[in-house]
Amino acid sequence: MPESVEPPDEGELEPVRLPDSQLEGIEASVRRLMEESAQQARQLDHLAAAPAPGGSPFAAFGLPGFGTPPPVPSPEPRPILELEGEAYEDELDALSDWVDDWLLPVYGAEVTTAAPWCPQWQEHQDVVAWLHALWMAYQQHKDPEAGLSGMAVWHRDFLTHTIAAVRAPGGPLSACMTSPERPAHRILPGPPPSARPQKTTTQPEPADSGGPYELTA
């Protein structure tokens, strides 16, 4: 005689039993939903993160991104003789450090009558202008962007010509030190101002009035 199945008590839910094939489908759907939820969370974190510096979509065109302050342009180099006051003194001090600490120990040949020098070269304005231009060219050509031949170009086109002009026998230092044992400093007088023709202004002649008026009857 088969066992009798007792009906469930009133209010008690009978458990639902699903086939194994349906359970596998439900588990796959749950895993897929969890993966999609995790992917959406990663996308939200990426969008909420602050953009990295220089990550502007317009960086390739040299334009700043939204909310990014424009880059501050570096000051353009100026010839030293165009500077005045403290700016001139600071630039001259930096130039003197480069000349005394690097240029002369490496390229300062022996002082002779054929290659004079002056221990007070800072007072020769033309020498200051020459050496400052040489220094600026040095800074440009030692930069990696100048390529491997940058310093060779500096030697050929700037150093040789500048030293030859500054230390020429008849150059700006020819009246200064021609021997280390006889230091000297003398500034040769320059040419006087050019004699410009004076502009003469002519006064306009009064118009001919035709003489006194004659009264006629």
pLDDT tens digit sequence for 70-108: 655 556 778 899 999 999 999 999 999 999 999 999 998
Answer for the pair 122, 73: CB distance below 8 angstroms, yes or no.
no
How many C-alpha atoms does 181 have within 13 Å on its Cβ side? 0
Q: Which two tokens stand for residue 131?
A: 């050496």
Instruction: Say how far apart CA 153 and CA 146 lie, in whole Å.
Output: 9
Structure confidence at residue 14 (pLDDT): 63
The answer to whether the predicted template modeling score (pTM) of the entire model surpasses 0.75 is no
Instruction: Say how far apart CA 188 and CA 173 lie, in whole Å.
Output: 9
Find, among 190, 181, 191, 187, the residue nearest to 113 by Cα: 181
For range 59-64, the mean pLDDT: 54
Question: Bigger pLDDT: 7 or 163?
Answer: 163
Predicted confidence (pLDDT) at residue 37 exceeds the cutoff of 70:
yes
